[in-house]
A = this chain, B = another copy of it.
Amino acid sequence: MSIATPDVATSPAFKVADISLAESGRHQIRLAENEMPGLMSLREEFGPSQPLAGARIAGSLHMTVQTAVLIETLVALGAQVRWASCNIFSTQDEAAAAIAVGPTGTPAEPAGVPVFAWKGETLDEYWWCTDRIFDWSAEASAQGADFTGPNLILDDGGDATLLVHKGREFELAGAVPETTDADSHEYSVILGLLRRSLATSTDRWTTVAAELQGVTEETTTGVHRLYELARNGELLFPAINVNDSVTKSKFDNKYGIRHSLPDGLNRATDVLIGGKVAFVVGYGDVGKGAAEALRGQGARVIVSEVDPICALQAAMDGYQVARLESVVSEVDIFVTGTGNLGVIRPEHMLEMKHLAIVANVGHFDNEIDMTGLEKIEGVEKVEIKPQVHEWRLPTGRSILVLSEGRLMNLGNATGHPSFVMSNSFTNQVLAQIELWVSNDNYPIGVYVLPKHLDEKVARLHLDALGVELTELSPEQAAYIGVSVEGPYKVDHYRY
């Protein structure tokens, strides 16, 4: 049963590319479970007590095999879940199908979680999917209950959170602003969706917002938005910043990128990395992982940085640190990992070597100035294969842009591997439990998980790697002023 791209006016129980992929997805989920010891341990520890009973979670996070294990863990802990992807390209169709079918269902009689995601959504479809995870009318009706939407959001990038905040804002204002030329295409899609919503209901998002007990947010970008909302007094519910758990930021960003950057480069281009000159824009955790991976494959890595501390780290790690302008014409592979905009711009692209590869593992597709690229006079875009495009420049040279400038580790590979995501997602689950079980401890604001939970996440991943942990003696613990069980470090410890 193949499901066509949706008519955005209708609302089926779920929407995936091809439900028949479920069996393949189920195999992959089973293999992934072996690589996600953190989540599997939580199922074992918390399955009996069902701490998420009553929780209705709206999830907006790349609909991959790993996310499938997360979703099934949330369900195993008692939660109800609806899910959308947070990126138009990142869905693994077989994972979405398997989640829709569920472990006990069949493609003919799906018994899984409502999921709205497929690889290659349009922006209209994407925001329609995001809208769907806030419509819990079917569940309310089935349970004879009186609720409209979810009571928790599990977010990645903040799109789900944004939709609620904007929806409520425009309902309070009584109108959705006109779209202007300054608005991005994506923002005009959001405005359109909310305009249609307002035409149908004047308080849908206000009600949704009121029911929400909080959000747990996965990424730098989403966290940045949350702190801004909080600073402006606009945040509507408490938020846990999962991104800044050590076991998330240091692991997902650094070790995840170390794995998935070369994976994406290889799948996209099959170009030898060894011997090449690679340029990594930004030496935060993402850049550190990228540089290590490229060096590990024998590339010569040049780094650029704006922060003198990170620049000094790069130098001390043996990398050349240069401005992009200084070396652009010698570079074979460009990788961006800054979370900022316009770090590679048309003036750079015009100076690049023929068939230089341009890849983003940092942030949105504005990190590489794709709009600027499109506007170069005489530029021509040739699809080599999906997510790999040759842009023929008026100079006679071409460049290869991966995943349309979006996150190539998702678009050209399969995202971070399961083990990394197990770290991130174990944080997510613990954060969801915190917000659900101990909501009173979290007045509206943005929080990080307490260090003992961060250490717990790490601890749950050691056995799988054969790590033997040493135990402090009581005397040693006393000597450094900690408890034997931890936490072991002051809050500002940098790892």
**A residues in contact (CB < 8 Å) with B:** 24, 27-28, 31-32, 34-35, 65, 224, 228, 244, 246-247, 249-251, 255, 258-259, 262-263, 266-267, 269-277, 285, 292-293, 295-301, 304-324, 326, 330, 339-343, 354-355, 382, 384-385, 390, 400, 413-414, 417-420, 448, 454-456, 458-459, 461-462, 465-473, 475-476, 479-481, 486, 488-489, 491-492, 494-495
Contacts and interface: CB of A to CB of B under 8 A. Distances in A.
Nearest to A459: B308
Contact of A466 (B259, B270, B330, B491): B330
B275 A465 contact: yes
A235 to B, nearest CB: 16
Given A224-B481, A306-B488, A417-B271, A322 B455 contact: no
B495 A313 contact: yes
A486 B307 contact: yes
Contacts of A24: 385
B267 A255 contact: no
A45 to B, nearest CB: 16
A494 B448 CA distance: 14
> What 4 A-B pairs come out closest when comparing CB atoms?
A296-B296, A272-B417, A308-B458, A272-B419
A465 to B, nearest CB: 5
A469 B340 contact: no
A298 B255 CA distance: 8
27 contacts: A34-B355, A35-B271, A228-B481, A255-B272, A255-B316, A259-B266, A259-B273, A262-B263, A263-B267, A267-B267, A270-B414, A271-B419, A274-B318, A275-B315, A304-B470, A306-B469, A307-B455, A307-B489, A309-B489, A312-B462, A312-B465, A315-B467, A320-B466, A321-B462, A341-B479, A342-B475, A343-B476
A32 to B, nearest CB: 8
A108 to B, nearest CB: 22
Contacts of A304: 468, 470
Given A258-B298, A318-B295, A342-B476, A323 B468 contact: yes
B298 A297 contact: no
B275 A298 contact: no
Contact of A246 (B285, B309, B400, B491): B309
A247 B309 contact: yes
A458 B312 contact: yes
Given A285-B494, A324-B470, 18 more contacts: A31-B384, A34-B354, A34-B355, A35-B272, A247-B309, A267-B267, A272-B417, A272-B418, A298-B316, A298-B318, A306-B472, A307-B486, A308-B459, A308-B462, A312-B462, A315-B462, A491-B492, A494-B494
Contacts of A340: 472, 476, 479-480
Nearest to A341: B479
A45 B315 CA distance: 24
A266 B269 contact: no
A404 to B, nearest CB: 17
Contacts of A270: 32, 65, 414, 417-418
Contact of A275 (B326, B419, B448): B419
Given A275-B465, A318-B274, A481-B228, A31 B459 contact: no
B319 A300 contact: yes
A249 B312 contact: no
Nearest to A421: B272
A310 B466 CA distance: 15
A385 B30 CA distance: 13
A495 B324 CA distance: 22
